[in-house]
Chain A
Amino acid sequence: MATPSELQVHLGRLAVILWNYGASFPIPTLDSYQDTGNLGFSFAADLAGSDSPGPAIIKLSEIWAPRGSPDQFGRTEYEYDFVEHPLNRRRAFHLSDPDFYPQEFGVLVHEHCEETIGAPTCGHYYGLPVTAYEAIDRFTSLWGRPGPLGCASLRCM
């Protein structure tokens, strides 16, 4: 649970972490969605280093919905993606389509893992909920290190 002010600080902290790794991206904003009353953000950061055939990218998106009081919001959806074009691979942690996954698979979250972009063994994997900070840690620990992502150890949906 967080207030809008706390979410602004949360987003600011995420941006600082990525900026201080040398990433480049426009200043992200905490958006108030007029159609739903939710709050959220979405931005993609190009990481420093090789940019051939494209840069490594971390994309962070979150949706927060009112919970109980109008000033308290809970995270209801997220997408944290790491697409490392120089090594042609992808890792992602998602909580999206919250009506579909619990009903069909008994879980809210799923993951993606592509040792080669566009050629995953499974389209979706079971996973565990993560925070954006944990996702950044997981992504940056992989960043620029050739070798398997470990997709083979995950369980297919």
Chain B
Amino acid sequence: MHEKQFLSPADVAMKLDISTATVLRMIHAGALPAIHVSERIYRIPSASFEMYKAGTLRTGGPAPRRRVKQQPRLGKGEALPEPHGDSVAIAR
């Protein structure tokens, strides 16, 4: 059976046998990862829900550091736009 990629707060509420309001409180508290689609719409990635159930959601921590000889050039391989001579007008 094809697993849904995203769940609604109501889907999660049904799976956990809790109210949708409780799910929304979990989202607002940061306990359940959710994507804010618009003002009042959230989606929960199925992978996030599975990690929540398994207790394997990660918490923050500093990333490791390392020394690198050369700084990468951002924008590499990307053609620059053609100047069109109205930069003065744009800058005003």
In contact, A16 and B60 (Cβ under 8 angstroms):
yes
Question: Measured between C-beta atoms, what is the minimum distance from B70 to chain A in Å?
Answer: 5
Give a binary string over A78-108; 1 marks a CB under 8 Å from any B CB, 0 the rest. Answer: 1100000000000000111100100111110
Whether a CB of chain A sits under 8 angstroms from the CB of B55 is no
Contact, CB under 8 Å: A16 / B58? yes
Contact of B74 with A79 in the complex, beta carbons under 8 Å: yes
Chain A interface size band reads 35 or more
Map CB proximity to A onto B48-84 as digits: 1 under 8 Å, 0 otherwise. 1011000001111111111111111011001111011
Which secondary structure characterizes the binding site on chain A? mixed
Q: Determine if A22 is an interface residue (Cβ-Cβ < 8 Å).
A: yes
Partner of B37, one of A17, A20, A94, A141: A141
CA distance A138 to B50 in the complex (A): 23
Contacts A20-B51, A106-B90; A36 near B65 (Cβ below 8 A): no
On chain A, the residues within 8 Å of B60 by CB distance are: 9, 12-13, 16
Complex contacts, A79 vs chain B, CB 8 Å: 74-75
A63 contacts the other chain (CB 8 A):
yes
> Within 8 Å of chain B (Cβ to Cβ): is A27?
yes
Q: Is B74 a contact partner of A12 (Cβ separation < 8 A)?
A: no
State in angstroms the CA–CA spacing of A63 and B76 once bound together: 14
Which of B57, B74, B75 lies at the interface centre, i.e. has the most chain A CB atoms within 10 A of its CB?
B74
Q: Does A71 contact B (CB under 8 A)?
A: no
Q: A residues within 8 A CB of B16?
A: none
Binding site for B on A (CB under 8 A): 4-5, 8-9, 11-13, 15-17, 19-22, 27-36, 38, 40-42, 48-50, 61, 63, 77-79, 94-97, 100, 103-107, 110, 123-124, 137, 140-141, 143-145, 157
Sample of 22 A–B contacts (CB below 8 Å): A4-B65, A8-B62, A9-B62, A12-B62, A22-B47, A29-B64, A30-B64, A30-B66, A32-B67, A33-B70, A38-B71, A49-B47, A61-B72, A61-B74, A94-B74, A105-B87, A107-B90, A123-B79, A124-B81, A141-B36, A144-B6, A145-B37
